[in-house]
Amino acid sequence: MVFFSKFYRPIITKVFNDPIHGSIELHPLLIKIIDTPQFQRLRFIKQLGGVYFVYPGASHNRFEHSIGVGYLAGKLAEALRSRQPELNITDRDVLCVQIAGLCHDLGHGPFSHLYDGMFLPKALKKKEKEMRKNGELGEEEKLEEWKHEKGSCDMLDHLLKENNLEPVMKKYGLKPEKDITFIKEMIAGPLQESEGQKWPYEGRKEKKSFLYEIVSNKKNGVDVDKFDYLARDSSYLGIMNNFDFRRFLQFARVCEVDGRKTICTRDKEEDHMYHLFYTRHRLHKRACQHRVSHIIQEMIAEAFLKADGHIKIEGSLGSAGSEGTIGSKGSRGLFTLSTAFKNMEAYTKLTDNVFEEILNSSDPNLQESRQILQNIISRKIYKFVGETTPKNPIPDWKTLKSSWKDGLVEPLPEGGRKLTRKHFKILVIERDYGMDNKDPIQHVHFYSKSDLNKAKAMPKEKGSRIRTTCFSEQLIRVFCKEIDDKSVEAAKKHFKQWLERNPYLDGSEGN
């Protein structure tokens, strides 16, 4: 299809057939970004990580999700522009929003959130322990945590530089110096400390604050990233999705809220918005936090941790924070699983394929890692022993896990098979509706038919009275690493007695 720019130059879009959104058209600049090694890498990163080992349909990847988010970002921006011309949304704005949606997940590592949410925290903790032992880190000091949003910004910089795309951006009317900053801010939030500043962003002025809510909404989580993954994940998992993002696009409107322009929806859409957050909660509960998929992901993270240091990924030297060593090709660096994110050339090569690299390796240093992954493939998975819900949330549960293990392994009065700390795996699950223990609906603003320009939060007394009033919960799950019947039976007895000695817990045994 051909469109014309304001200079009457033809802009030929490309049409994709997406299973969720149907036939979608993308701007040629987006195609240039998609056709790079850095973006194509997302083809090899599972959207739902280890959930695929439980749900056979969960085979989709970050690649198609990212294209979907880029498409929806443009649809929402165009809907607002056509409905409210006074907002002065420009072609530049729309294109930047689309790029932010397209590139928001460039920073994901192997198996998506498994890498930055399970593996890296363990690797950093191990590194901290080693550094304290060597006197390189104080007792209270901690290494800086890393999130995939930071990786997305670093990878975007690398992608644009390696593929010389800044001139292409200029060709289509963008101003790289300012617009790249804007794109990265939409992905990760303010790029610099903004304490005391009224407006923390540099890419666009405060009068266009609503643009920062399209891709990653820091206020209430209502954004096109969620629209796409709720529809896409539900479809591939075979789980019902009651939220219709197309309906949201029809009612989305920018209103003044607390002196700042915010994306709002109609007051009659309150129930529909509740479905958005409820569907997210259900997806996490039934898939991401499913007890089998969760323990499999923990096992993969454990295998990666044991393999860390023995997997070498070639990258470039000289980047900030790189920890590579000089290789045989001159100024090259070798990075590990836990340091590759510091070097985008190395990180480009790090995908889910590392699972098969370990699985098929004959390196004796990878024997333990290989055995864990072989156990996953042959379904020799840690056995579920039981779970318990604390009567009141435990904010400091991380400091209690060690004492919980001690409690689990205390000898049984009636004797029986003795288990040690190494036989148990304790996982703490925290479920919510996206805003800890808060009601997310209270952070969405609604306008009425009689006044399209004023919006406010829905008063609690006017909301539905048949919905939940509890928006978060904790779940403590116990698994046994020994999977033979005698060990599992002994573990269940240990678990039962542990519950009896801890009255603040209320548990149930596993099957």
Catalytic residue set: 148
- CB-based contacts of 9: which residues, under 8 Å, 6+ apart? none
Do residues 300 and 308 lie in contact, with contact meaning Cβ atoms separated by under 8 Å?
Answer: no
The answer to whether the CB of 433 falls within 8 A of the CB of 278 is: yes
**Rounded Cα gap, residues 29 and 172, in angstroms:** 8
> d(Cα 319, Cα 341) in Å, to the nearest integer?
11
CB count within 10 Å of CB 309 equals: 13
Is the torsion defined by CA of 73, 78, 84, 90 positive or negative? positive
Tokens representing 498 are 């542990």
Q: Give residue 12's Cα distance to chain centre.
A: 33
389 phi and psi angles, rounded to 5 deg: -110, 115
Tokens 């945590």 sit at which residue? 145
Q: Side chain identity at 34, as an amino acid letter?
A: I
Give the number of residues written for the chain: 511
Whether the CB-CB separation of 36 and 82 falls below 8 Å is answered with no
